[in-house]
Structure 1
Amino acid sequence: MDFNETAVFVKVVESGSFSAAARLIGSPTSTISTRVARLEKRLGVTLLQRTTRKLQLTEAGEIYFKHAAKGLHHILDAESAVVESVAEPAGRLCITAPADLGDHILSEIISTMRQHCPKVTLELVLMNRYVDLIAEGIDVAIRTGSLADSTLVAKKVGTACWAPFASPAFLETIDPPENPQDLRHYSCLQFSALGKASWTLYNQSNSVTVPMPGTVVVNDVGLMHAMAIAGEGIALLPTYLYENTGHAGKLVRILPEWHAKADPIHIVYPRQQFMPPKLRYFIDLASELLEKRLGGISRSSMAEG
């Protein structure tokens, strides 16, 4: 069996003539005609009725073309898949992530990607809103919180846990709180996304809602972070911001058995039959690093000095 004959026959039918198929394949028209004739002889049927103006599939030709074209396309897909699996990552890769995910986490991912994939051009778009990846030309997203139903592929890589922190200087001016209800008596910096009127904290078995006076309410984690370091009060902040040693001693986690909301973090990307090597490498790398940083809800003082 000569699969070249089958491939030539499929190309002749798809292009509409022997001459057109010859141009696409890069062979003389006589060679194309000979291969189709050999196929017909081997099968013992006429596949094409030849006229001066056009080609007409016979009934047997229609049956053969229907199955042969499908099989040929599967073979070509298989070859493409193998080529992609061994190809070196290259080209532009656009990534979006929350602005408050943490500079040290993102910089580690980008730095490692650059070292191992020098032919990949990285574009990082930081924003806290969800974007339409396909419409805006973005290859992959890191997202926090619950995901809406969609056709996108989502891979969970960790948990974003929020907990109360304060600076050592601020803690020196107060008696440390012994339970969540004590927080109402202190200056607290409220992140509007976590509630303007109260905080809800959880431990292993209970939850407590604590009314807040609301003296300072902001919607930016970076500002909350800076104000907490400056000793302005107690703030709910994501624990992953304090994984790196650069924050050691600047903030202390209080009530370490308690935490606020804990949101899942996913890597999200459009579903596709064959994933480009650059995207596959990024997903594997980011998954490994994020799972290491965000594996669960930490209950230790992440930044005690």
Structure 2
Amino acid sequence: MDLNEVAIFVKVVQVGSFHQAAKLLDMPNSTVSAKVSALEKRLGVTLLHRTTRKLQVTQAGQAFYARSLHAIQELQGAEEEVTSNQGEPQGTLRLTAPTALGSSLLPEVISLCMKKHPKIHIELIFADRMVDLITEGVDLAIRAGELSDSSLVAKKLGVGYFAPFASAAYLKAHGAPTHPKELREHTCLQFAPLGKEKWELVNKAKSKVTVPMPGKLIADDLNVIKDLVLSGEGIALLPTFICESETKRSKVVRILPEWRSDVRPISFVYPPQKFVNPKLKAFIEIATDILKERLKDNEI
């Protein structure tokens, strides 16, 4: 039995592509194809039907995949159990996060992690889509909001919310609103996922108010919205954690301080494993202390 053949076949089925499997396994496409073909020849059955458009797993392939996946997970668990408390954390750690969230929260963590563990190499994937951690070979994600995939492990770090911000120059020129309904008299810069037609705000007394938006400027990039606020172009709802530095330097001002969007949890998410590998364990330990401190002030 060639366990490499089995492991490669499992990866191909997991990601649904010879090319993607080769990329994740860091080997040529031809090697991946040859290994799967050799496995089929040894077993005497067709495991995969290959076409130019898609990959179809045969009935025999599905049965073999299910048993093989369990066996490989057991082997990985055994290896992780032996190595989890031994040696220096090392290897490539692939992380993903939404662009604004990751660029605000991760630089400090990564800097400290690389200083403490120089043998860990970090690959960052900033994406505002939902990255499939297993098929794309990602070790850890930071996600905001309620998590729907119950097959993943989630570790809550804190909470975040959006609040109205403006530059001092804008407020000097146009004045500051004293109630959310007065926002209609101002230039509001809208982040599309929060709503193109209205803003919904709540205060600490749980009173809610809906503010219709004229849609003068709408963008789906938080960093663009933030830059426009800094340029004095208007008022925007921004996550409080991405405005920390600018608020301390008085470049932006949080207005209507009693009002905010709904609170959303922020969590680490990673694929389930019996024993967390050393590089992931080291990163989580460093990041948890830093991020819980940064996010705790957002809790209400």
Q: TM-score, normalised by structure 2?
A: 0.70
C-alpha contact (below 8 Å) 1:94/1:125 kept by paired residues: yes
Task: Show the counterpart of 1:129.
Answer: 129
Task: Show the counterpart of 1:284.
Answer: 285
- Structure 1 residue 78: deviation in Å? 7.9
Task: Show the counterpart of 1:250.
Answer: 251
Task: Show the counterpart of 1:156.
Answer: 156
Q: Does 1:188 align with 2:188?
A: yes
Cα separation, 2, equivalents of 1:147 and 1:278: 24
- Residue correspondence of structure 1 range 206-245 to structure 2 within 5 A: 206-244=207-245
C-alpha contact (below 8 Å) 1:97/1:142 kept by paired residues: yes
- Equivalent AA in structure 2 for residue 184 of structure 1: R
Quick one: percent identity of the two aligned structures?
46
- Equivalent AA in structure 2 for residue 229 of structure 1: L
* Residues 80 and 222 of structure 1: CA distance in aligned 2, closer, same or farther (over 3 Å): closer
Task: Show the counterpart of 1:261.
Answer: 262
C-alpha contact (below 8 Å) 1:239/1:298 kept by paired residues: no
Task: Show the counterpart of 2:108.
Answer: 108
- Structure 1 residue 161: deviation in Å? 1.2
* Residues 149 and 80 of structure 1: CA distance in aligned 2, closer, same or farther (over 3 Å): closer
Task: Show the counterpart of 1:28.
Answer: none
**What is the CA deviation profile of residues 33-70 of structure 1, one whole-angstrom value per residue up to 9, with x for unaligned ones?**
xxxxxxxxxxxxxxxxxxxxxxxxxxxxxxxxxxxxxx
Cα separation, 2, equivalents of 1:121 and 1:80: 19
Q: SS of the residue aligned with 2:92?
A: strand
C-alpha contact (below 8 Å) 2:246/2:252 kept by paired residues: no
Task: Show the counterpart of 1:294.
Answer: 295
- Structure 1 residue 297: deviation in Å? 2.5
Task: Show the counterpart of 2:86.
Answer: 86
C-alpha contact (below 8 Å) 1:167/1:251 kept by paired residues: yes
**What is the CA deviation profile of residues 2-46 of structure 1, one whole-angstrom value per residue up to 9, with x for unaligned ones?**
xxxxxxxxxxxxxxxxxxxxxxxxxxxxxxxxxxxxxxxxxxxxx
Q: SS of the residue aligned with 2:124?
A: strand
- Structure 1 residue 189: deviation in Å? 0.6
C-alpha contact (below 8 Å) 1:199/1:210 kept by paired residues: yes
Q: How many residues align?
A: 225
Cα separation, 1, equivalents of 2:84 and 2:192: 45
**What is the CA deviation profile of residues 207-245 of structure 1, one whole-angstrom value per residue up to 9, with x for unaligned ones?**
111111111111110110011111111001110012236
C-alpha contact (below 8 Å) 2:98/2:143 kept by paired residues: yes
**What is the CA deviation profile of residues 169-206 of structure 1, one whole-angstrom value per residue up to 9, with x for unaligned ones?**
10011232111111111111111111111101111121
* Residues 245 and 116 of structure 1: CA distance in aligned 2, closer, same or farther (over 3 Å): farther
C-alpha contact (below 8 Å) 1:98/1:143 kept by paired residues: yes
Q: SS of the residue aligned with 1:164?
A: strand
Unaligned runs of 5+ in 1: 1-73, 300-305
* Residues 298 and 245 of structure 1: CA distance in aligned 2, closer, same or farther (over 3 Å): farther
Cα separation, 1, equivalents of 2:191 and 2:79: 52
C-alpha contact (below 8 Å) 1:102/1:240 kept by paired residues: no
- Structure 1 residue 167: deviation in Å? 0.5
Q: Does 1:272 align with 2:276?
A: no
- Equivalent AA in structure 1 for residue 192 of structure 2: S
- Equivalent AA in structure 1 for residue 174 of structure 2: I
Unaligned runs of 5+ in 2: 1-73
Give the alignment's Cα RMSD to 1 decimal: 2.2
C-alpha contact (below 8 Å) 1:240/1:293 kept by paired residues: yes
- Equivalent AA in structure 1 for residue 106 of structure 2: L
Q: SS of the residue aligned with 1:122?
A: strand
Q: SS of the residue aligned with 1:166?
A: strand
C-alpha contact (below 8 Å) 1:242/1:248 kept by paired residues: no
C-alpha contact (below 8 Å) 1:243/1:293 kept by paired residues: no
Larger radius of gyration: 1
C-alpha contact (below 8 Å) 2:140/2:269 kept by paired residues: yes
Cα separation, 1, equivalents of 2:79 and 2:183: 63
